[in-house]
Amino acid sequence: MDSGALQIWGMRLLFVLLTMLILFFHLLPLNPAPSQWAGPDVLVAMVFAWAVRRPEYVPILLVAGVMLLADMMLQRPPGLWSVLVVCAAEWLKSRERRQRETTFFLEWLTFAGTLIVITILYRTVMVVLILAPGTLVLSLVQVLMTIAIYPAAVGVSFFLFGVRKSAPGDMDRLGRTL
């Protein structure tokens, strides 16, 4: 295997490790009493940040597997949130070429819009199938917190793990332009 493929598989492994780390912190039994506010969904912010920058690091099957594991671990209905995140991530990937020249602010807006749309869909499906989707305030707080930490997720991915958009001159391992 050449260095390019090795790097891609390395980043995929890193993605899985980061997911486990995020789930680990979600599950710490620090305060089992119910709280009035909800923390951000860091996992979704990371998936979207990576999907916009380097689609090859987060292929469909990896996103689906990771999100399904999160659904299982975090007591969500299995499959519903994963399917929404997979669709949204694929949609963001398909826009990746166009987004390459846009500003970060525009990307942030796109992220916020996508997240709001999939959250509304999630809650609608839950209500239609007579599942308790939780209070609206809690969902709203979670969405706002996730939007707020998106720049941090992007920053950490960029500076710590080197997940950046491919520059115009970049070549892939076969020498084609990206």
Partner 1 sequence: MAKNGTNSEDYTTPLRRLLLAVVILCLLGLFFIWRIDSPRVERFRAAVIDTVIPSFDWAMAPVTATVNIVRDFRSYQRIYEQNQELRRELRQMTAWKEAALQLEQENAKLRDLNNVRLDPRLTYITGVVLADSGSPFRQSVLINVGSRDGIVDGWATMDGTGLVGRISGVGPNTSRVIMLTDATSRIPATIQPSGQRALIVGDNTSAPTIDFLENPDQVRPGDRIVTSGDGDVFPPGLLIGQVAQDPGGRLRTRLAADYERLEFLRVLRDHGARRVSSPSALILPETPPGITDAATAEPQQ
Judged by the rule CB under 8 A, the positions of this chain that interact with partner 1 are 4-5, 8, 23-24, 26-35, 37-39, 55-56, 59-61, 64, 68-69, 72-80, 82-83, 86-87, 90, 93-94, 96-97, 129, 131-135, 138, 142, 172-174, 176, 178
Q: How far is the CB of 24 from partner 1 (least distance, A)?
A: 6
β-partners of residue 177 are: 171
Short-list 145, 134, 67, CA closest to 112? 145
CB closer to partner 1, 26 vs 116: 26
CB closer to partner 1, 117 vs 155: 117
CB closer to partner 1, 1 vs 160: 1
CB closer to partner 1, 32 vs 169: 32
Q: How far is the CB of 82 from partner 1 (least distance, A)?
A: 5
**Residue type, position 89, single letter:** A
- CB neighbours of 93 closer than 8 A, spacing ≥ 6? 51, 52, 55
CA distance 112 to 119: 11
DSSP 8-state secondary structure symbol assigned to residue 58: S
Q: How far is the CB of 107 from partner 1 (least distance, A)?
A: 17
Max CA pair span of the chain:
56
β-partners of residue 40 are: none
Q: How far is the CB of 31 from partner 1 (least distance, A)?
A: 6
Q: How far is the CB of 115 from partner 1 (least distance, A)?
A: 16
Q: How far is the CB of 125 from partner 1 (least distance, A)?
A: 8
CB closer to partner 1, 60 vs 117: 60
Q: In 74-103, which ranges are continuous DSSP H helix?
A: 80-94, 96-99
CB closer to partner 1, 39 vs 113: 39
Q: Nearest-5° angle of CA 137, CA 45, CA 142? A: 10
Q: Which two tokens stand for residue 1?
A: 């295997």
